[in-house]
Structure 1
Amino acid sequence: MPDPVRNAAVRAVIIIALTLSQVVVVLLCTLAGSWLALPMTISSVASTVVATWAVLDIWITRQAWRQRNGVMSVPSSVARRRTSLWHYDQ
């Protein structure tokens, strides 16, 4: 995986982890009847939007990298030069 795509993936994983943590806090605050449930719910909705963008960023970064750099094609070690039976070197 190219470095820019890897960076986007790491960012996305961190943002998704934080969003899931917020959802757990919202659940616990709601069960406890805390006043913090409403602000955390609003924050969780915003975090969900950011997490969605982070996942899309992985796809966009990957597509941009492919468009700029193309497919990296290297012949494998088992690839051989084509030779013809009828070609004689003189």
Structure 2
Amino acid sequence: MGTAELSKAPGDDRVTRTAVRRSTEAPDRDIPARGRVAAEEGGAARAQSSYRPLWVEETARRRRLPDPVRTAAVRAVLIIAVTLLQAMVAFLCTMAGSWLAFPMVISSVVSTVVATWGAVDVWVTRQVWNQRNGVVSTPSSTARALRRERRRLRRQEKAAVRTQERIRRQGGAGQLSHP
């Protein structure tokens, strides 16, 4: 993959176009990559720059959480963050001897109860989702073999029925004897 760069030499009105090759082998932007070729253009040697990508796409190791579970998890994280903030403010107000210390301690206790509810809500939502939508399971090799055998038998039965139907439609043509 490459791009084109426009460059202008100082004191020269001419604009030159240089092709740039991008390589993923460069360990860093300020360290030259292996295989970099110098391009001769207008008598001046220009080194082609090579950059590594900012990130590399990787496949997800785990499946994405279902929407209801993810919503409950985000809600719980926000509640827990507010609770920690309130607890910190309550502590600092207590250390400073502020009149706000008592209301903040009370609100921190209430927020702790709500944060616990939020964490339990994530767990319950996940369990309910798994119960309603089922859990993806991998069948054992024996179950797979049994299913394969049943499928083969069904295909044979369907083929036999189709053959009989074709014979009936032809009115017995091609048979040596009629039953």
Range of TM-score over shorter length? 0.7 to 0.9
What amino acid does structure 2 have at the position aligned with 1:38? F
Q: Deviations over 1:18-69 (max 9, x none)?
A: 0000011001100110010000100000000000000000000000001100
Identity %, equivalent residues: 67
Which of 110, 114, 119 is matched with 1:46 structurally? Answer: 110
Q: What RMSD over aligned residues (CA atoms) do the two structures have, in Å?
A: 2.2
Which of 82, 95, 101 is matched with 1:37 structurally? Answer: 101
Q: Which has the larger radius of gyration?
A: 2
Match of 1:78 in 2: none
Match of 1:22 in 2: 86
More helix by share: 1
The runs of 4+ residues in structure 1 deviating greater than 4 Å are 81-84
What amino acid does structure 2 have at the position aligned with 1:61? T
Unaligned runs of 5+ in 1: 76-80
Tell me which of the two structures has the higher relative contact order, counting C-alpha pairs closer than 8 angstroms and 6 or more residues apart.
1
Unaligned runs of 5+ in 2: 1-64, 157-179
What amino acid does structure 2 have at the position aligned with 1:64? V
1:28, 1:66 → 2: CA distance? Answer: 43
What amino acid does structure 2 have at the position aligned with 1:46? V
Would you say how many aligned residue pairs link Structure 1 and Structure 2? 81
TM-score, length-normalised on structure 2? 0.41
More strand by share: 2
